[in-house]
Amino acid sequence: MATKKKAKKTQVQLVKGMKDILPDEQLYWNVVKEKVFKAARDYGFSRIDTPIVEFTNLFKRTVGEDTDIVSKEMYSFVTPGGDKLSLRPENTAGVVRSYIEHGMLNLPQPVKLFYIGPQFRHDKPQAGRYRQFWQFGFEAIGDNDPVIDAQVIIISYNILKELGLDIQIQINSVGDEESRANYMKILRQYYQDKKKDLCVDCKKRLIKSPMRLLDCKVKYCQEMALEAPQMVDYLSDDAKEHFMSVLEYLDEMDVKYSLDPTIVRGLDYYTRTAWEIVELSNEGKLQALGGGGRYDDLAEVLGGRATPAVGFAMGMERIIMKMQENKIEIPKSKDYDVFVAQLGVEARKKALKLFEELREDDFKVTENMSKKGLKDQLDIANKRGAKYTLIMGQKEISDGTVLIRDMESGVQEIIDYKKVKIELRKRLQKKILDSEQKI
Ligand code: AMP
């Protein structure tokens, strides 16, 4: 006799560094997304979605081969066809690739694009740091004017401010090619006799890209960075004038900022303006919610025509974490107008139909057909904020009527089934008028 094999229980679990976004938290995500969409509308940015997967080379050429992101943190793989691909660790490179590939150069400039979606970095997970995380970003491609830098900064600032966060921009200029060549020499000189005290990564950075030493997260490297000569003192006249104009615009708009010479942004592609946004409630441990900068050379690196551009990216998990830490209230999804309640099998059939008809007519209608008792259903209607409940039982079906209950006063009236929509609309309209008069 064949023995029956016991089915092996497989344990399912979340992959390390990943995060489920459960329904309660989605309320925060909706609020943030709505702000992003509103900002895009207000400032004239159009949405772009690029694929999550790109050729690995795209990131090597733009973000930089010896950055942590590319050298240590990319999810890379080779396809059965032999293509070397990576999950995107950031979205700017993909957007610029798309700009070039679709000839957006021929559109009126700047082309203003925004994106929202998941990014992937195989970093060490910790509070506010995931391996899959969401970013939204705004990119203005094709204009060199400092007013565009300022406007993009203002967008990032306003989104967070309107979400109720107390934030500050930390800003710097990483100069243009001319200023940088000069400054890198000065930096190498400064670090020459301190070399032995640097962390292993910074020793390598000193040879290839000394400006990244300023951005190191290791404490003793940070202390040395604070004493280092500052880029702003070595800017070319052109880069200095550009930076000063950006700051003047920010002053004009009362944007809270501080000059921070250590903001160099970890990636290769930044030029001129560079900034990060920090939240101020936890002074001891400022964590960046987002950052951005100008990247005038990026399109050329990818084989396109020289195209000045500026943009930013914000981390959505971190924004939401800060909103929760600061107990920022968000509207509950309690905006139903009407709940359809039913008592008995026959009534349920009719109620299903009534629900569909109301939904198709754009009433904000809700139900819970699996509940049988009226009390349970009224409780749910209350929790969902319904202003009226339509009640259908055996008697109402035989009479061709429906009971309408005002959830605030508890008053119930019988109405003709055929007039249910007219009666409902009349009452909802009256509620709006009454509440306007109270204001
Ligand atoms: P970056 O492109 O590294 O400057 O990232 C911009 C923003 O994305 C950061 O300020 C964070 O808010 C967010 N971010 C970056 N890496 C992560 C991560 N591993 N987990 C969660 N958020 C992240």
Within this chain, do residues 269 and 398 fall inside the same structural domain, yes or no? no
Within this chain, do residues 292 and 430 fall inside the same structural domain, yes or no? no
Q: How far apart are CA 58 and CA 52, in angstroms?
A: 13
Final residue in a domain of this structure, among 271, 302, 325: 325
Task: Give 194-227 pLDDT, tens digit per residue.
Answer: 888 889 888 888 888 888 888 888 888 888 888 8
Determine, yes or no, domain membership for 30.
yes
Q: Is the pLDDT of residue 67 over 90?
A: no
Q: What is the pLDDT of residue 212?
A: 82
Which strands make up the sheet holding 132-141, listed edge to edge?
46-47, 111-120, 132-141, 309-315, 288-294, 271-279, 167-173, 257-259
Q: How far apart are CA 266 and CA 292, in angstroms?
A: 11
Determine, yes or no, domain membership for 185.
no
Q: What is the pLDDT of residue 4?
A: 55
Within this chain, do residues 368 and 293 fall inside the same structural domain, yes or no? no
Determine, yes or no, domain membership for 386.
yes
Please state, in angstroms and as integers, the Cα–Cα distance from residue 433 to each residue in 10, 362, 386, 424, following that order.
Answer: 58, 20, 17, 14
Within this chain, do residues 40 and 155 fall inside the same structural domain, yes or no? yes
Residues 378, 380, 384, 385, Cα dihedral to 10°: 20
Q: What percent of the chain has pLDDT over 70?
A: 96
CATH number at residue 361: 3.40.50.800
Within this chain, do residues 301 and 346 fall inside the same structural domain, yes or no? no
Determine, yes or no, domain membership for 204.
no
- Smallest Cα–Cα separation from 92: which of 269, 284, 279? 269
Determine, yes or no, domain membership for 79.
yes
Final residue in a domain of this structure, among 261, 292, 325: 325
Region 287-293: mean pLDDT is: 93
Determine, yes or no, domain membership for 7.
no
Question: Which tokens sit at 253?
Answer: 């708009």
Final residue in a domain of this structure, among 291, 325, 359: 325
| pTM > 0.85: yes or no | yes
Task: Give 83-135 pLDDT, tens digit per residue.
Answer: 999 999 999 999 999 999 999 999 999 999 999 999 999 999 998 899 999 99
* Contact status, residue 397 vs residue 350, Cβ threshold 8 Å: yes
Tally of domains within the chain: 2
Determine, yes or no, domain membership for 218.
no
Cα 386 to ligand 1 centre (Å) = 39
Within this chain, do residues 264 and 410 fall inside the same structural domain, yes or no? no
Residue 257 confidence class, pLDDT cut points 50, 70, 90: very high
- Smallest Cα–Cα separation from 320: which of 130, 178, 71, 128? 128
Within this chain, do residues 169 and 76 fall inside the same structural domain, yes or no? yes
Within this chain, do residues 393 and 311 fall inside the same structural domain, yes or no? no
Within this chain, do residues 156 and 278 fall inside the same structural domain, yes or no? yes
Overall size of the chain counted in residues:
439
Within this chain, do residues 371 and 422 fall inside the same structural domain, yes or no? yes
Which of the residue ranges 46-60, 169-183, 425-439 would you say has the lowest mean pLDDT? 425-439
Q: What is the pLDDT of residue 61?
A: 92
Write the single-letter amino acid at 142. G
Cα 391 to ligand 1 centre (Å) = 50
Within this chain, do residues 409 and 261 fall inside the same structural domain, yes or no? no
CATH number at residue 268: 3.30.930.10
Determine, yes or no, domain membership for 88.
yes
Q: If you take atom 13 of ligand 1, which residue's CA is the nearest one?
A: 315
Atom of ligand 1 nearest to the CA of 313: 6
Task: Determine whether the shortest distance from the Cβ of 123 to ligand 1 is under 6 A.
Answer: yes
Atom of ligand 1 nearest to the CA of 135: 8
Task: Determine whether the shortest distance from the Cβ of 288 to ligand 1 is under 6 A.
Answer: yes
Cα 430 to ligand 1 centre (Å) = 48
Question: Which residues have CB under 8 Å from 74's CB, separation 6+?
Answer: 56, 59, 86, 87, 89, 120, 121, 122
Atom of ligand 1 nearest to the CA of 131: 19
Atom of ligand 1 nearest to the CA of 123: 19
Within this chain, do residues 296 and 382 fall inside the same structural domain, yes or no? no
Atom of ligand 1 nearest to the CA of 90: 2
Q: How far apart are CA 144 and CA 128, in angstroms?
A: 34
CA gyration radius, the chain? 29
Cα 88 to ligand 1 centre (Å) = 13
Task: Determine whether the shortest distance from the Cβ of 133 to ligand 1 is under 6 A.
Answer: yes
* Contact status, residue 151 vs residue 123, Cβ threshold 8 Å: no
- Smallest Cα–Cα separation from 28: which of 385, 336, 328, 335? 328
Q: Give the three-state DSSP class for 250.
A: helix
* Contact status, residue 273 vs residue 294, Cβ threshold 8 Å: yes
Write the single-letter amino acid at 196. K
Domain that holds residue 165: 26-176+236-325
Question: Which tokens sit at 437?
Answer: 């008069």
Q: If you take atom 8 of ligand 1, which residue's CA is the nearest one?
A: 315
